[in-house]
Every structure is written in structure tokens, then in C-alpha cells.
């Protein structure tokens, strides 16, 4: 089978012919129909995880069940499915026993330390695999497996009451879905970015469009005044929760300053810098909390698929063939890039 592999860090993907894997135990052999590209795929490709090479890239896969290992009980050949990136947790640690296997220290991750989704076939784990609703296509389903699962998990982790004001900072693949899921969950939403094109697009989504869009080129004070004007009934200045989806270190202090007293900043992105700077006064004197957000559990991802199916949550998709995977990478770095880039297979 053909696969786009990392053969050297900071070098282009190489299309190689490699053996088709054989599923064992809880494993499913997925005939890949769509594989999304994520910012962390580039981080792996550039050596961030120190992965062993060669490695098939990609961790957002959707397709059809081709074959199944002997322990698979919930899926049959031909099922339309999508899979989170995780495989083979230890099932013995505290994380696994508390339904947080995504945090297991020994869990394998497709496209990180085992071969991933940029291939005609891939191995996925039935414990992290989900049936895809009929009205969600393969490309959309693939995008939900990381971008969607991450931002949905961040919204749930914020634990906000209905009608709360949520800021989404960074309207890329995560942020666009974050705005839509937040609206679908009944929140009032502000979309923040410094690029005009993503903000223009997010305003075209009807009932899932944000209540307010705002350029981060403006000052914090200008942003707070815009929030006051849009939500005059709000008692505390700022958003109740700010989800940070972008990689730039300077975004974090801006996010804290735009968050109301007793609010929460949810960090969802891989930052381009090893350290970020925030003002201690925001934490100590204004009681702004910060929490991290990782990919959702299988159960939460099932919820988001049902919500996406019901409310028509979608990414703006641009597709590439496997042979065009390096063209995809070039497109990802264009200044007006927004939406989701996906490798698709016939």
C-alpha cells in the first residue's frame, strides 16, 4: 500500500510502498477514505516528538472497516467509522481505570509513535473508534477526530452555564469548529483572529456564526468595550471562558486580559515556544484560572458527532490526494489559510 512517510525531520513527506498491516486483538484495519492535517502533524514531522523514522504521518482518520482483530465486537466489515489517534492503552494505570486512557503514559498514538492515517490503510483501536452518522462525510468525520474532539473537550472542561460568553482565540481548523460547537451548545460566542479571511468566513455560518468577531490587532481595552456593547447585561468585563487555539506565545497574555474575573482560559494549542508569559496578577488578583485541554474521550467524541449531525457543524474543507501531501503542507502555510486541509482517497 502507499503511505506518506516522514523519512527525515524537517524534510518533505515521501510516498513509499509499505506492507498492508494485519489487525490483531482490538485492532481494526481501516481502509482510509479521509485523513485530516493538523498542526501537530507538522510538529511531529519537524522532530518535536523525537519519533522513530520512517513513520507514516497523520492522526485524523476516517474510512471503512476492512478487517478486524479477534477481540473486536462492536464493528463489522464495511462499517463507516472514524477513529481517535489512540491505540492500546495499558488498562492498568490510574488514568485508564478512571476513563482517561487518552492520558495513559503507555498509550500509542497514530502518526506520533506508530504509523498513522496518511496511507491507504491504517490500524485503529476499537476502543477509540466510532460509527459515523450518515449525514457526515468522511472528510468532515476525519476533522472531528482531533480538531473537533480537542475543542469540544475544551468547551466541556470550562464547565460553563448556558448563555455564558465564550471567546475563541484563533479561527483556524480548531477555532472554526469551536465557534460552531459553542453556538450549538447554547453559548454566546466571540471569534478572535488577526486575519480578515477567517473572520469573514465564520460570519457566513448562519445560526452557528459568532455573535461578535474581533481582530486581535486591536487593544485589549477595545476588545473589552466591544464585549460590553454586544452584551450589555453582562456584569463582569470580558469573556467567561477563552479557548486559545493558536500557536503564538503572545496570544496567551492577550487571552488572559480579555477574560473576566473568575473566568477560565483553556489552552488547546501546541505553542511555538517552550514557555509562555502571563501576568501573575490575572491569576492572583482576578482569579482567572487556566486549564489544559487534550483530545476528548471516546464517549465525548460520540456526543460531538451526534451534536454535529443534529446541528450541521462543519469544517470548510480543502482536499488533496496522497501524492499532493506536500502541496497540502505548502497550502497550510499561506497567510490566508483557514478551514481544514484533508487528504482523501478514492
Residue 271 pLDDT > 80, yes or no?
no
248, pLDDT greater than 90: no
Q: What local confidence, expressed as pLDDT, does residue 191 receive?
A: 98
Say whether 146 sits in a helix, a strand or coil: helix
**Is the torsion defined by CA of 193, 327, 128, 271 positive or negative?**
negative
71, containing H or E segment: none
pTM, two decimal places: 0.94
* 323 CB-contact burial (10 Å; exposed 0-12 / middle 13-18 / buried 19+): exposed
User: Cα dihedral sign for 137, 150, 115, 16?
Assistant: positive
pLDDT value, residue 270: 76
Q: How confident is the model at residue 247 (pLDDT cuts 50, 70, 90)?
A: confident
Q: What share of the chain is helix, strand, coil (3-state, %, to 5)?
A: 30, 25, 40
CA distances from 123 to 135, 142, 334 (A): 25, 15, 32
Mean pLDDT of the chain: 95
Confirm if 6 and 54 have CB atoms less than 8 A apart: yes
State mean pLDDT over 89-115.
95
What confidence tier does 344 reach under pLDDT thresholds 50, 70, 90?
very high
Where in the chain are the domains? Answer: 2-131+316-344, 147-292
The answer to whether residue 181 scores a pLDDT higher than 80 is yes
CB-based contacts of 242: which residues, under 8 Å, 6+ apart? Answer: 166, 167, 168, 169, 255, 256, 258, 259, 263, 264, 265, 266
- Percent pLDDT > 90 in the chain is 90
Contact by Cβ (8 Å): 28, 81: yes
Cα–Cα distance for residue pair 346/344, rounded to 1 Å: 7
d(CA 232, CA 150): 31
CATH of domain 2-131+316-344: 3.90.180.10
Closest to 23 in 3D by CA, of 149, 90, 115, 107: 115
**pLDDT tops 90 at residue 272:** no
User: Do residues 55 and 44 make contact, with C-beta atoms less than 8 angstroms apart?
Assistant: yes
Task: Give residues with Cβ within 8 angstroms of 330, minimum separation 6.
Answer: none
- pLDDT recorded at residue 274: 76
Beta strands 239-244 and 259-267: pairing type?
parallel
Q: Band of the pLDDT at 317, cuts 50, 70, 90?
A: very high
For domain 147-292, the question of CATH label 3.40.50.720 is answered with yes
Query: pLDDT tens across 5-56, in order?
Result: 999 999 999 999 999 999 999 999 999 999 999 989 999 999 988 889 999 9
Share of the chain above pLDDT 70, in %: 100
Note the pLDDT tens digit of each residue in 186-217: 999 999 999 999 999 999 999 999 999 999 99
The x, y and z cell numbers of residue 300, run together, are 465525548
Check pLDDT > 80 for residue 337.
yes
| Average pLDDT over every residue of 119-134 | 98
Amino acid at each position: 500500500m502507499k503511505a506518506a512517510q516522514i523519512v527525515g525531520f524537517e524534510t518533505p513527506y515521501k510516498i513509499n510502498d509499505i506492507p498492508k498491516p494485519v489487525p490483531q486483538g482490538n485492532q481494526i484495519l481501516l481502509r482510509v477514505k479521509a485523513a485530516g492535517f493538523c498542526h501537530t502533524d507538522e510538529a511531529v514531522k519537524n522532530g518535536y516528538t523525537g519519533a522513530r523514522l520512517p513513520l507514516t504521518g497523520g492522526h485524523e482518520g476516517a474510512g471503512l472497516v476492512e478487517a478486524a482483530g479477534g477481540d473486536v465486537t462492536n464493528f463489522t466489515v464495511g462499517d463507516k467509522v472514524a477513529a481517535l489517534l489512540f491505540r492500546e492503552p495499558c488498562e492498568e494505570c490510574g488514568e485508564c481505570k478512571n476513563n482517561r486512557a487518552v492520558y495513559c503514559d503507555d498509550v500509542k498514538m497514530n502518526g506520533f509513535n506508530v504509523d498513522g492515517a496518511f496511507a491507504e490503510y491504517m490500524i485503529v483501536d476499537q476502543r477509540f473508534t466510532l460509527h459515523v452518522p450518515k449525514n457526515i462525510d468522511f472528510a468532515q468525520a476525519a476533522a472531528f477526530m482531533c480538531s473537533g474532539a480537542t475543542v469540544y473537550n475544551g468547551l466541556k472542561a470550562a464547565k460553563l452555564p448556558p448563555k455564558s460568553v465564550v471567546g475563541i482565540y484563533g479561527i483556524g481548523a480548531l477555532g472554526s469548529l469551536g465557534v460552531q460547537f459553542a453556538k450549538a451548545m447554547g453559548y454566546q460566542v466571540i471569534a478572535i483572529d488577526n486575519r480578515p479571511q477567517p473572520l469573514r468566513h465564520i460570519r457566513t455560518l448562519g445560526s452557528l456564526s459568532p455573535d461578535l468577531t474581533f481582530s486581535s490587532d486591536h487593544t485589549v481595552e477595545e476588545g473589552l468595550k466591544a464585549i460590553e456593547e454586544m452584551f450589555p447585561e453582562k456584569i463582569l468585563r470580558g469573556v467567561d471562558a477563552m479557548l486559545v487555539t493558536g500557536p503564538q506565545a503572545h496570544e496567551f497574555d492577550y487571552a488572559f486580559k480579555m477574560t473576566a474575573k473568575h473566568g477560565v482560559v483553556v489552552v488547546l494549542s501546541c505553542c511555538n515556544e517552550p514557555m509562555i508569559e502571563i501576568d501573575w496578577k490575572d491569576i492572583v488578583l482576578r482569579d482567572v484560572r487556566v486549564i489544559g485541554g487534550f483530545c476528548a474521550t471516546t464517549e465525548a467524541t460520540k456526543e460531538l458527532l451526534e451534536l454535529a449531525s443534529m446541528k450541521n457543524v462543519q469544517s470548510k474543507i480543502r482536499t488533496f490526494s496522497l501524492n499532493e501531501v506536500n502541496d497540502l503542507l505548502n497550502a497550510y502555510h499561506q497567510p490566508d489559510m483557514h478551514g481544514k486541509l484533508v487528504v482523501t482517497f478514492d
